[in-house]
Structure 1
Amino acid sequence: MNIYQHFRPEERDYIDQVMQWKNTVELQYAPKLTDFLDPREQHILKTIIGENGDVKYQLFGGWPGAERKRALLFPEYLVPVQEDFQISLFEIDYPKKFIKIEHPNVLGTLMSLGLKRGKFGDILVDDEQIQFLAAKEIGGYISTNLESIGKATVHLFEKPPENIISPKELWEEHELTVSSLRLDTVISGVYNLSRQKSQNYIAAGLVKVNWTQIESPAFVCEIGDMLSVRGHGRVRLSGIEGKTKKEKWRISVGRQK
């Protein structure tokens, strides 16, 4: 069976990596812990590893509602525990009376430290309280090097897992019709933009599908895709309901409030 046919061409390198992880666990008969994976990467891993083989997997991101999770691949003799995922929880202390820090500010600062996105999990914001999850192996580096976010001096405190906050994500479901499932057409319909403006956003590198920048307006969207346009928020394509009598596609989307 050709495993690649079930996924998009641009996902081939990641598929090869998952296969390599699986083979390593089989050959060494020892567990393999990955970096944090986005939901699309988790889906691919689950599909490739399966549920009935000699190699098992578990996913954990530090809290029950985690979007980004580390995967632990392991032989069937092993019974994983939470500590095996090697996740650290950090809270950011900053001058709340004088400055507002938001999710993009935190992510931008973490990325500026020269570390891969896969080394960080979710960034949690609940009113003025901000936390983030990170791979334990880089905890010391972050603590030493993260001293400011923007113009604000900040202090990091590592917290025990039970101190994690659980912000609520709210999604509104909408139904609409689009003339095709091309990325520029779906974005135009979902965000109420002109087709030309949608294409301009794509050309400018402001559009991502499943956390990956897409530069082709002809990219075909599928059920489960997470779309984002910088400055316009995220949308999840939750259903494709078929065609209308006028040959338009009926789709349902969840839009983050």
Structure 2
Amino acid sequence: MTEEQILKGRLCDLAKRAYNQNIYTYSNFLSVAEQSLLDELRPELSYIHMELSGGGDLCERQIVGFGSEEEFGYPGEFPIAVVMIQPLLEKFSDSLSHRDFLGALMHLGIERDTIGDIIVKEKTAYIYCLPSIAEYICKELTKVKHTNVKCEIVSTDIPALAPTLVEETFPVASLRMDVILATLLKCSRKEALALFEEKRVTLNGHITGRNSSLLKDGDIFSVRGHGKFVFDHVGGNTRKGKIYVHINRYV
């Protein structure tokens, strides 16, 4: 069996167990590609309510939960915790990136599907993860790169987890995704098309290969390796007929 078939089987088993036993069941964190597999199963699993959460409104990696208060008579709670990782002494800290924090976690032998999004703000990281893994991280993680760190489980709604947006405005010839990405990422149209072919582009939480899709207000899109963006609105036109677009970049 392929990994995709194994995952689909696991998701079907979780749905059946929730339905048969009247209990909430939850997957581990699913990547965007794995969420696309879940979408393929929706018609087959229509007999049970399903909901996705990554712990924050804009998290890409998400857990699917099966069941609802209407079906079971009691509310469920997604098994998601947040670990804050900080340098012990900030002035002696390395400049730490998303890759550095993820690498340190993988070095502990932690499975990737037990960890959700990693938000890095300056030299502090916030790790969405399963509660059991949160305790393990706090106990075992003492160093990231060459920096000694301390870990603490924090609330999922602390202000530091709110996204920071930076607006970018520029003219484009069309609202097509490939045209906007080429300008936004400062690359050629050919390079932008390659991003779609390599399945690195998502639109509103789903991998898309439709480079000709027209973006509209509120669309959230991301490019693996380049970041996440929101199409905010269309402005005026240039003298040459190009369209001013306003894009918010998550930083």
TM-score, structure 2 as length reference: 0.63
- Distance in 2 (alpha carbons) for counterparts of 1:117 and 1:237: 30
Which residue of the partner structure matches residue 187 of structure 2? 193
User: For residues 153-208 of structure 1, what are the alpha-carbon distances to aligned partners after superposition, in whole Å with 9 as ceiling and x for unaligned?
Assistant: 11222235565633333153656346976x6x7643442223565578899x8x72
User: For residues 206-242 of structure 1, what are the alpha-carbon distances to aligned partners after superposition, in whole Å with 9 as ceiling and x for unaligned?
Assistant: x722399x9xxx9433566734253x44446789xxx
User: For residues 20-74 of structure 1, what are the alpha-carbon distances to aligned partners after superposition, in whole Å with 9 as ceiling and x for unaligned?
Assistant: 4333433444321111235675577578558x95412343333455444322212
Aligned length: 227
- Distance in 1 (alpha carbons) for counterparts of 2:104 and 2:79: 22
Q: Secondary structure at 1:21's aligned position in 2?
A: helix
TM-score, structure 1 as length reference: 0.62
Matches within 5 A, 1:148-159: 148-159=143-154
- Distance in 1 (alpha carbons) for counterparts of 2:113 and 2:56: 17
Which residue of the partner structure matches residue 59 of structure 1? 52
- Distance in 1 (alpha carbons) for counterparts of 2:42 and 2:75: 17
Which residue of the partner structure matches residue 89 of structure 1? 82
Kindly indicate whether residue 111 of structure 2 is the aligned counterpart of residue 116 of structure 1.
yes
Matches within 5 A, 1:220-231: 220-221=210-211, 222=213, 226-228=221-223, 230=225
Mapped contact 2:196–2:209 kept (Cα < 8 A): no
Percent of aligned pairs with the same amino acid: 20
CA RMSD of aligned residues (A): 4.6
**Which has the larger displacement, 166-175 or 132-141?**
166-175
Structure 2: runs of 5+ lacking an equivalent: 234-243
- Distance in 2 (alpha carbons) for counterparts of 1:149 and 1:191: 30
Q: Secondary structure at 1:131's aligned position in 2?
A: strand
- Residues 253 and 165 (structure 1), Cα distance of their counterparts in 2 relative to 1, 3 Å cut: closer
Letter in 2 for 1:71: V
- Residues 191 and 107 (structure 1), Cα distance of their counterparts in 2 relative to 1, 3 Å cut: same
Mapped contact 1:91–1:131 kept (Cα < 8 A): yes
Matches within 5 A, 1:100-111: 100-111=95-106
Letter in 1 for 2:62: K
- Residues 256 and 87 (structure 1), Cα distance of their counterparts in 2 relative to 1, 3 Å cut: closer
- Distance in 1 (alpha carbons) for counterparts of 2:210 and 2:150: 44
Which residue of the partner structure matches residue 168 of structure 1? 163
Q: C-alpha displacement at 1:86, in angstroms?
A: 2.1
Q: Secondary structure at 1:85's aligned position in 2?
A: coil
- Residues 164 and 63 (structure 1), Cα distance of their counterparts in 2 relative to 1, 3 Å cut: farther
Structure 1: runs of 5+ lacking an equivalent: 1-10, 240-249
Q: C-alpha displacement at 1:132, in angstroms?
A: 1.6
